[in-house]
Structure 1
């Protein structure tokens, strides 16, 4: 790890590409679960009485199999730059902070700095790609066989962007829900990256023969261990920030019907209304079971794919 990496365009490009591929792979793997999670989070009128698996079956029955991937096109348009920027930013912030705060005598990197690097990377990527996240949520929320109560919603990426910009406050509309997103990204991005890097370190240090293999004089974590470390990191991060994710989705979809407009007035009020109307389990943590089912493998696949891509592109994957 050196300061020269921060000025190397090849390093930046490879990190960007590896991150984008990792994001697309992981999101596509769990796209059906992403859609049903959104429908459950916001109590969609057509699916509010269903559970995770009954909801998935109902989507196939009512809207056909490919409807499980509704919004995934927008997701791919969004997730490539989002994940690419996030992983590349993490590498930049990690290296920059490590150079600034490297322990003088031992030369070892302070792992706690990776929490701050992950937080900054999460906020950076969220700010740069948020309008596409809003579009993805709108498209996933739309139900094919039924009209939307009160307000007609476009069903294309560009159409939704234009509609929101023209009718919902221009830039303010495109960034509705950004506050809980940024607030969630600070602990979530930091926790994800920190836990993954920390677990990698522990696995290599204490179980090198089980969790890794030697290459060019270094111990490289094997794929099952990468998946396990990523899954644990994802589970911890999701548990911490899930209520903010619920608030974000409700705010993003607040202008899709007259009934949900009350969620457009700020994230604290959205959290408060959700709690009063539905409580903790059925409100603030609504859809949490499916979130574990989707988030744990998603984060595991994302980190693992990123690490494998780094190896294929000749980038350092050490701790």
Structure 2
């Protein structure tokens, strides 16, 4: 393994890695929150993209045409009907999600990598860096997704609901109580199957591409950027494009249940059965293009989100490691 790749995986204690991951998640989420809301609204929209939209009615009945057309028109529509706070809907559960997810992800990634080393090195074996990164990244993604999934579901539902009288959940505690009452514990895990089906290849591809590109880009000098940030952007775009249909399926399933017809989109279809059957239903009703609704804004979001995450993580880790060294010196 290259020294640069090893630096990301081996530096810092478990607590320092966890703190750096949480810091990266907190900052990254706040920066990209508006694009996340736009992506979710577009993913849940099932109207034909060529239909005319209604600018006077924010929640038209089924068949009246799409509410949103494109990233910028969607932002303008949300600002017009819901104000600036509308672009940060679901930010509280999303911030908790990103903090917890990033902390678990980076900690699991580091621990799994070290486990692979200690397991194989006594036998004189070493995995190729890209294979090691794929295994560690996919495993870390699966662990973090499962541990934080209820927050992901809450983030989607808050982002999908309207304002004022159209609100389904008035607060995070009320949402938790209502979902538990109406849908039981399993309601918090709607869509976990397609989520794991997506996150395992996504994180595997992401870390494999990231660790491959980071060393040769290490000396790249850009304003407010670094080789790690550029590698993170490229890795995120590649991984997101390859796994996007499963992300869309996850969002559609997350808003199933008794509140399905009460969100901004009143005509979200009911999906029953497996991930594969949901994919087939979407293709039948909307064509293959329907599986990629919101891809453009997702890529626009993914690149800066990954760049901010990796840029912040590396600097936060160095900061926490420095604090630890100073603490040892003063003891």
TM-score normalised by length of structure 2: 0.80
Contact 1:103 1:110 in 2 (8 A): no
Residue of 220, 226, 229 corresponding to 2:228? 226
Preserved contact between residue 98 and residue 109 of structure 1 (Cα < 8 Å): no
Counterpart of 1:257?
Answer: 260
Deviates more, 1:285-294 or 1:252-261: 252-261
* 1:145 CA displacement: 5.2
- Structure 1 residue 116, shift from structure 2 partner: 0.4
Relative distance call for 1:275 and 1:34 in structure 2 (3 A) is: same
* 1:285 corresponding residue in structure 2: 292
Query: What CA distance in whole angstroms lies between the structure 1 residues aligned with 2:89 and 2:108?
Result: 29
Matched, 1:178 2:192: yes
User: Alignment length, in residue pairs?
Assistant: 289
Per-residue CA deviation, residues 99-147 of structure 1 (Å, 9 max, x unaligned), is 3234977989634111100000000000001011100100000111563
Is the contact made by 2:130 and 2:209 (CA closer than 8 Å) also made in structure 1? no
Task: Flag structure 1 segments of 5+ consecutive residues without an equivalent.
Answer: 2-7, 213-221
* Other-structure match for 2:305: 298
1:266 is matched with which residue?
274
Structure 1 CA distance, aligned partners of 2:129 and 2:95?
A: 34
- Matches of 1:250 and 1:32, distance apart in 2: 19
Asked if 1:118 is matched to 2:133, the reply is: no
Unaligned regions of 5+ residues in structure 2, if any? 2-9, 47-58, 61-65, 262-266, 323-331
Decide whether the 8 Å contact of 2:44 with 2:268 is kept in 1.
no
2:100 aligned with 1:85, yes or no? no
Larger relative contact order (C-alpha < 8 A, sep ≥ 6)? 2
Moved over 6 A (4+): 103-109
| Contact 1:85–1:124 under 8 Å retained in 2 | yes
- The residue correspondences of 1:1-319 to structure 2 (distance < 5 A) are 11-43=13-45, 45=59, 48-102=67-121, 110-144=129-163, 147=166, 153-168=168-183, 170-204=184-218, 208=219, 210=220, 223-255=225-257, 256-258=259-261, 259-260=267-268, 262-281=270-289, 283-314=290-321
